[in-house]
């Protein structure tokens, strides 16, 4: 595996093979292993799997966990090596952003709701860094997890509206044994919070298969289950159309239940398609 830290070096990679990118912020875990596995499946034995690790300051809203976000660099490098990654792009902040940067990528519709409402500026940061990674690494395809359902929809919109010639591959959410979605932020949870966080998957299972039910009924059910965990503090629970991300009135095949819930200071998100 070759480790690349500069944009110039990344640009100089001759692109003769199918290249599949897995963009990450590091602190790699088994969900990332699955993204890398899918990337390899897509690239084939002769293709190139590129992982980027960059904790992107632009997508952390003020007062959030940018400083304390885990950065286990050596462990991550070994993880990529063992996962059969060909190139690891691991730039620092000054390599990625000029001090006087003044151009950003703003998605102005899907970003206004859900995570975008709770985390102003977050998707501007995501869209900007993803567009930069696409330009720097020139992949044919890029792999994203369905846990970040809204991010996935927005990245697809960026690709469509800015005409990136890149296939976006969605990978189903990878879960721990008790159903909690794998996330680098799970490690912030203390033992009791971690135990109670299993209620999130219980809520998803409770509403799974709900069809022809009113949004009110589905949301009430999800909230009721989540509230069984005394430490859970709901940020939002919503039923939305999977394309527009606008609130849906009835549960059905094109709807997704999405939520963000705090356990202590840790904010966890998850979702399930209904119908
Ligand atoms: O999902 C993530 O880890 C990040 O938002 C991404 C896509 C790597 C951009 O920083």
- On the 0-12 / 13-18 / 19+ scale of CB atoms within 10 A, 92 is exposed
Which of 56, 60, 166, 185 has the most ligand 1 atoms within 8 A of CB, as the residue to mutate? 56
Q: Say which of 29, 32, 42, 201 is annotated catalytic.
A: 32
DSSP codes joined into one string, 23-80:
EE-S---HHHHHHHHHHHHHH-TTSEEEEEE---GGGSPTTSSTTTS---HHHHHHHH
> Could you tell me which residues come within 8 angstroms of residue 187 by beta carbon, excluding any fewer than 6 positions away?
27, 70
Q: What is the pLDDT of residue 275?
A: 72
Q: How far is the CA of 210 from the centre of ligand 1 (A)?
A: 30
- Mean pLDDT (the chain, rounded): 97
Q: What tokens were used for 196?
A: 């109670």
Report whether 226 contacts 259 (CB < 8 A): yes
pTM of the predicted model as reported, rounded to 2 decimal places: 0.97
Distance 25 CA to ligand 1 centre (A): 6
Cα(128)–Cα(162) distance, integer angstroms: 12
Mutational pocket test of ligand 1: of 21, 22, 24, 39, the residue with most ligand atoms within 8 Å of the beta carbon:
24
Q: Kindly tell me if the per-residue pLDDT of 211 is higher than 80.
A: no
- Which domains occur in the chain, in start order? 2-171 (3.40.50.620), 184-274 (3.30.1300.10)
Atom of ligand 1 nearest to the CA of 55: 10
**Closest-CA residue to 129 (of 67, 59, 196, 61):** 59
Give the nearest ligand 1 atom to 59 CA: 10
Q: Which residues line ligand 1 (CB under 6 A)?
A: 23-25, 56, 59, 126, 129-130, 148, 151
Residue 24 Cα, ligand 1 centroid: separation in angstroms? 5
Cβ within 8 Å of residue 178, ≥6 positions away: 198, 201
Q: Is 32 a catalytic residue?
A: yes
- Reported as a single tens digit per residue, the pLDDT across 145-164 is 999 999 999 999 999 999 99
Reported as half-sphere exposure (CB side, CA atoms, 13 A), residue 47 has a value of 18
- 211 C-alpha vs ligand 1 centroid, how far in Å? 32
Q: Atom 3 of ligand 1 has which residue's CA nearest to it?
A: 24
Eight-state DSSP code of residue 97: -
Q: Is residue 210's pLDDT more than 90?
A: no
If pLDDT is split at 50, 70 and 90, which confidence band does 209 have?
confident
Output the DSSP codes for 203-217: HHHHHTT--S-BHHH
**Distance between Cα 82 and ligand 1 center (Å):** 21
* DSSP annotation string for 159-208: HHHTT---EEEEEPPPB-TTSPBP-GGGGGS-HHHHHHTTHHHHHHHHHT
For the CA of 23, the nearest atom of ligand 1: 8
> In the predicted model, what is the mean pLDDT of residues 204-233?
95
pLDDT reading at 26 higher than 80: yes
Nearest to 245 by CA among 108, 121, 75, 102: 108
């Amino acid at each position: 595996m070759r480790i690349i830290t500069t944009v110039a070096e990344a640009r100089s990679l001759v692109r003769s093979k199918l290249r599949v990118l897995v963009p990450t912020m590091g602190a790699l875990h088994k969900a990332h292993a699955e993204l890398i596995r899918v990337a390899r499946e897509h690239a084939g034995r002769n293709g190139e799997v590129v992982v980027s690790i960059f904790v992107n300051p632009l997508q952390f809203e003020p007062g959030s966990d940018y400083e304390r976000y885990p950065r286990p660099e050596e462990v991550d490098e070994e993880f990529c090596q063992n996962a059969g990654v060909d190139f690891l792009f691991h730039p620092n902040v000054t390599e990625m952003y000029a001090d006087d940067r003044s151009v950003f990528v703003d998605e102005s519709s899907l970003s206004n709701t859900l995570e975008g409402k709770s985390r102003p500026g977050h998707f501007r940061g995501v869209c900007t860094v993803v567009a930069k990674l696409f330009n720097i690494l020139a992949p044919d395809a890029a792999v994203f997890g369905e846990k970040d359902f809204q991010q996935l929809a927005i990245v697809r919109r960026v690709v469509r509206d800015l005409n990136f010639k890149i296939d976006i591959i969605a990978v189903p959410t990878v879960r721990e044994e008790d159903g909690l979605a794998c996330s680098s932020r799970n490690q912030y949870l203390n033992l009791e919070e971690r135990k109670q966080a299993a209620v999130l998957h219980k809520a998803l299972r409770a509403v799974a298969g709900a069809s022809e039910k009113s949004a009110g009924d589905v949301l009430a059910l999800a909230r009721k289950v989540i509230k069984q965990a005394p430490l859970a503090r709901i940020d939002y629970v919503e039923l939305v159309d999977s394309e527009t991300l606008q609130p849906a009135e009835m549960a059905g095949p094109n709807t997704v239940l999405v939520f963000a819930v705090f356990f202590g200071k840790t904010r966890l998100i998850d979702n399930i398609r209904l119908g």
